[in-house]
């Protein structure tokens, strides 16, 4: 018999895994795992359905774009977003598979929080450069090959794929790494955020493929609770982040987003 209290662990696990997947902190970093360990000690049983919820949220959010891209692929008229998704996913696989096989545990949770904070500092610096004469690190390369404003290019795909592959080490933040890489090309922050969401399934599928610890004998209702919580929180978080990026502009968003990673690291040090 399942009691109402039993739903607390999968609900919290799904919510926190979802938030950690889209904020620049890494859902398996020191601070988040410590928080989950205190609030829901059995959170490890719900990692698989939680990550599945995050994955399906992305597919549902971009369902129209994916459907249109599939139709264009059949007609052999690939648009830039579909090409970006294909190449970035391929680079994620090429880099991520060896990482998961060899060095996935090379960085501990505490060190991963520090690395995420450094990536956050990088976002702050890029944000502060907005509106100045100093260009983003890869902006010169991108401006020479990008035909339309904010069009996804091969450089963007390579940057995203490499970032996702590296982020499979420990509790590094996929969202933070990919966004930092894309804004370094000079891309609009809202567009960069959208592309970072779009390519996430390749990372999530690889992560799920190498994830253990799932107990399929748990009640389906509890597993579905974790899935649904992650799905809903992911969908809402993506929508809010994109709206916020469009409302506050490049500088404010990147500074605020980067500060989240730094604050979470400092919280982990205190804890």
The total number of structural domains in the chain stands at: 1
Residue span of the structural domain in which 50 resides: 4-270
More confident residue, 196 or 142: 196
CA nearest to 51, candidates 90, 89, 20, 85: 20
User: Which pLDDT does position 38 carry in this prediction?
Assistant: 75
Angstrom CA distances, 75 to 68, 69, 80, 84, 122, stand at 11, 10, 15, 17, 41
Task: Please state, in angstroms and rounded to a whole number, the distance separating the CA atoms of residues 36 and 246.
Answer: 32
pLDDT digits (tens, 9 = 90+) for 103-133: 888 787 778 889 999 999 999 999 998 777 7
Asked whether the beta carbons of 183 and 192 are under 8 A apart, the reply is yes
- The Cα 211–Cα 209 span in angstroms is 6
Angle CA 210–171–40, to nearest 5: 85
Radius of gyration (Cα) for the chain, nearest Å? 18
Q: Which residues, 6+ apart, have CB-to-CB distance to 34 below 8 Å?
A: 268, 271
Per-residue pLDDT of 87-97, as tens digits, reads 999 999 999 99
Host H or E run for residue 219: none
State yes or no: pLDDT of 269 exceeds 90: no
**Burial class of 106 by CB neighbour count within 10 A (0 to 12, 13 to 18, 19+):** exposed
Whether residue 166 contacts residue 99, with contact meaning beta carbons closer than 8 Å, is answered with yes
- Kindly indicate the confidence band of residue 220, based on its pLDDT and cuts at 50, 70 and 90: confident
- DSSP element (H, E) containing 249: none
């Amino acid at each position: 018999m399942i009691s109402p209290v039993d739903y607390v662990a999968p609900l919290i696990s799904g919510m926190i895994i979802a938030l950690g997947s889209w904020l620049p902190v890494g859902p398996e970093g020191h601070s988040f795992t410590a928080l989950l360990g205190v609030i829901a000690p059995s959170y490890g049983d719900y990692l698989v359905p939680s990550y599945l919820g995050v994955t399906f949220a992305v597919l549902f959010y971009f369902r129209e774009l994916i459907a249109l891209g599939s139709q264009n692929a059949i007609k052999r008229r690939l648009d830039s977003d579909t090409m970006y998704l294909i190449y970035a996913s391929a680079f994620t696989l090429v880099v991520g598979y060896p990482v998961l096989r060899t060095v996935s545990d090379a960085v501990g949770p505490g060190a991963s929080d520090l690395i995420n904070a450094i990536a956050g500092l990088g976002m702050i610096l890029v944000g502060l450069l907005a509106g100045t004469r100093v260009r983003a690190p890869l902006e010169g390369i991108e401006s020479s090959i990008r035909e339309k404003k904010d069009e996804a290019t091969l450089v963007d795909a390579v940057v995203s794929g490499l970032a996702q592959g590296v982020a499979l080490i420990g509790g590094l933040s996929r969202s933070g790494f990919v966004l930092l890489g894309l804004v370094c090309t000079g891309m609009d922050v809202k567009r960069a955020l959208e592309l970072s969401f779009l390519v996430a399934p390749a990372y999530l599928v690889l992560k799920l493929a190498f994830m253990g610890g799932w107990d399929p004998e748990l009640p389906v209702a509890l597993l579905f609770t974790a899935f649904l919580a992650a799905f809903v929180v992911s969908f809402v978080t993506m929508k809010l982040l994109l709206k916020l990026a469009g409302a506050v502009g490049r500088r404010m968003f990147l500074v605020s987003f980067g500060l989240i990673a730094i604050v979470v690291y400092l919280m982990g040090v205190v804890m």
